Chains A and B, each alone.
Chain A
Amino acid sequence: MSTPEKAPPAPERVTRRRGRLTDEHGRRVGAGELVLRYALLLVVLVLTVGPFLWQLSTSLKGPTENIFSSPPSFLPAHPTLHNYARVADTIPVWDYALNSLTVAGASVVTNCVGAALAGYALARLRYRGRRGTALVFILAMLVPAEGIIIAQFTTMRDLGLNNTLIGVLLPGSVNAMNVLLLRNAFLQLPHEVEEAAFVDGANVWQRFFRIALPSVKGTLAVVAIFAFMFSWDDFLWPLIVLSDPSKFTLTIGLNYLHGTFANDERLVAAGTVIAVAPLMLLFACLQRYFFRGVGEGAVKG
């Protein structure tokens, strides 16, 4: 898959001159235009974030409060955390969260390690079969996961790993796309640095760990974030591979909660808040990696 155009030279810039906003040509941004822009931004904000806030609000409404009122009331009259305790009584939500966390954490480790090793071999090591290795990863990247999911299920069954967290982890544990991402990152390293280390007597593992790996930290961070998110969010594969409710991950647990207690929306709302909160937190901390090359840093740089 090709990535879109590279990060740009500073395109649009607003500076304050005599207390006025100006655009990149030094022209004043009209007050009318600014008002219109902010109005539109607020409308989109309500549409994109509003549903999450409504869910949060629902999860905080007490059992006596009418959650179906028309017109709707957006703020809980008597906010309570009671629904969160009830979710935990109904399904082992914290166990499910721990299962999700285990799989997602393991996926981060296996993807970073496995993809870095393979990416390094493809980019920096000469050996017979290197082209074949590259081809394997490229082909694997082209196979749609949804098209092989039944065969993955039977493969797991043959291995006796159905209904285990290892079974959930394995198919995504080294993603071919990540291998190729890291291969490209390693290719950017100047050869001279490694050659100098080689002359100094560093063997291939030392060169890998001490020189190559530290210089692709940025790409590793991206791989780690996406491995975590992909695993934490995955629905179809865990739904297929897990059948025992005690092994569920959070997404499957939520679907189960929704199916079993569909009529108690406060409960389901509390469950979704538990599932989405850690990701929102992770995103808030790491958002600059999400907007690499297009966000503020690149524009100002």
Chain B
Amino acid sequence: MALSPVSRVRRQLPVSPWLFAAPGLLVVGAFVLYPFVSTVVNSFTDRRTLIPGRFVGLANFRELLHDEMFWIALRNSVLYVLGVVPALVVLPLLLALLVQKNIPGIAFFRSAFYTPVVASIVVVGLIWVWLLDERGLVNSLLETVGVGRVGFLSDQWLLLLSAMAVTVWKGLGYYMIIYLAALASVPRELHEAAAVDGAGAVRRFLTVTVPAVRSTMVLVAALASVAAFKVFSEVYLLAGPTGGPAGEDTTLVMLVQRTGTGLTGRVGYASALSLVVFVVTVALMLLVLRADRREDA
């Protein structure tokens, strides 16, 4: 035999592999990579939606530094990360421990806890707008127990906090599943040994479970912080398109959407804003992953 079947399989037809890859390459090239390149290019121009731009150098970035709204948006997005990430690292882990044991009916509870993940963010947002409304359920309950009504959606900080709570509420089930997979691979001998040594449940959690799922906690922190920094829908729905009173609750992506779209959209300026989103996202990823490596060393 001149050629083994293996090499004949490998040497067949010079054209068809590209036919296989073409649809994917075309979509990804035209709608992800090309837009990314043009975001970079546009950020150095004064392009608007209907007006082709001229090269303006670093003018957009210089303007950013003096744009009060940019700093407000950056502050809110950073606060969002700081508020949401610790909760999303810890709470789903506790939830996973709660549903880990195979007691009767546990499959139902797991599915039920996952429903907020399945529901679309707009539905979730509108449900919580109604729950947190001045006259909504949460305030009715608070009034019933004598606390009185709270303006969750009218105060700048309470609104941001409420949006964070919604993000955490919606993300719980998703990260719970990730933790469940990690917990299942913790060797049970470790727990037994610790139990024999007289360690209680809390101590076993801190000395056995947490170290065993540490790399998963880092993964969750990375995923959650990148997602939190790019938050749009929760705040948009709770605060409205303008970002709450005087735009004080605007986040970076909301600012990108507001400045860059519509017939008068400032594409160039919004592209510069987008680049900030991109750079911070990548930096967050690297930061979390580096923190992980340092603890390993």
Contacts and interface: CB of A to CB of B under 8 A. Distances in A.
Contacts of B29: 136
Nearest to B142: A70
Nearest to A240: B261
A153 B260 contact: yes
A125 B17 contact: yes
B56 to A, nearest CB: 16
Contacts of A235: 120-122, 232-233
Nearest to A257: B126
B265 A7 contact: no
A14 interface: yes
Given A204-B16, A272-B127, A195 B6 contact: yes
Interface string B118-136: 1111110011111101010
B124 to A, nearest CB: 8
Interface in A150-207: 150-155, 157, 170-171, 173-174, 176, 179, 191, 194-195, 198-199, 203-205
Contacts of A171: 27, 31-32
Interface string A12-36: 1110000001011100010000100
A113 interface: yes
Contacts of A149: 256-257, 260, 274
Nearest to B222: A1
Contacts of B240: 259
Interface string A278-301: 011001100100110111100100
Nearest to B98: A40
A282 B237 CA distance: 25
Contact of A14 (B103, B181, B278): B103
Contacts of A1: 223
Contacts of B173: 48
B66 interface: no
B38 A155 contact: yes
A293 B192 CA distance: 24
Nearest to B31: A171
A143 B33 contact: yes
A126 B10 contact: yes
Contacts of B278: 143-144, 147
A220 interface: no
B25 interface: yes
B120 A41 contact: no
A254 B130 CA distance: 14
Contact of A121 (B21, B253, B261): B21
Given A52-B127, A55-B127, A150-B260, A275 B216 contact: no
A136 B140 contact: no
B136 to A, nearest CB: 8
Contacts of B114: 283, 287, 290-291
Contact of B267 (A113, A121, A150, A203): A150
B111 to A, nearest CB: 5
Contacts of B109: 41, 44-45
B9 A194 contact: yes
A229 to B, nearest CB: 7
A78 interface: no
Contacts of A23: 101
Contact of A279 (B5, B119, B177): B119
A284 B119 CA distance: 12
A44 B113 contact: yes
A268 B34 CA distance: 39
Contact of B130 (A114, A157, A268): A268
Interface string B91-111: 000010011111110010111
A203 B173 CA distance: 45
B139 to A, nearest CB: 8
Contact of A179 (B24, B265, B270): B24
B248 to A, nearest CB: 20
B270 A150 contact: yes
A155 B42 CA distance: 12
Contacts of B42: 150-151, 154
A71 interface: yes
B63 interface: no
A95 interface: no
A9 B63 CA distance: 57
Interface string A120-131: 111001110110
Interface string B56-69: 00000000000000
A86 interface: no
Interface string B6-24: 1011111110111111011
B277 A49 contact: no
A275 B30 contact: no
10 contacts: A34-B103, A40-B98, A44-B95, A44-B98, A70-B140, A126-B17, A251-B121, A272-B126, A283-B118, A296-B107
Interface of B: 5-6, 8-14, 16-21, 23-25, 27-36, 38-39, 42, 49, 95, 98-104, 107, 109-116, 118-123, 126-131, 133, 135, 137, 139-141, 143-144, 169, 172-173, 177-178, 180-186, 188, 192, 216, 219, 223, 226, 230, 232-233, 237, 240-241, 253, 256-257, 260-261, 265, 267, 270-271, 274-275, 277-278, 281
Closest 10 CB pairs of A and B: A8-B184, A118-B24, A151-B35, A233-B120, A150-B260, A121-B20, A127-B17, A147-B278, A171-B31, A174-B27
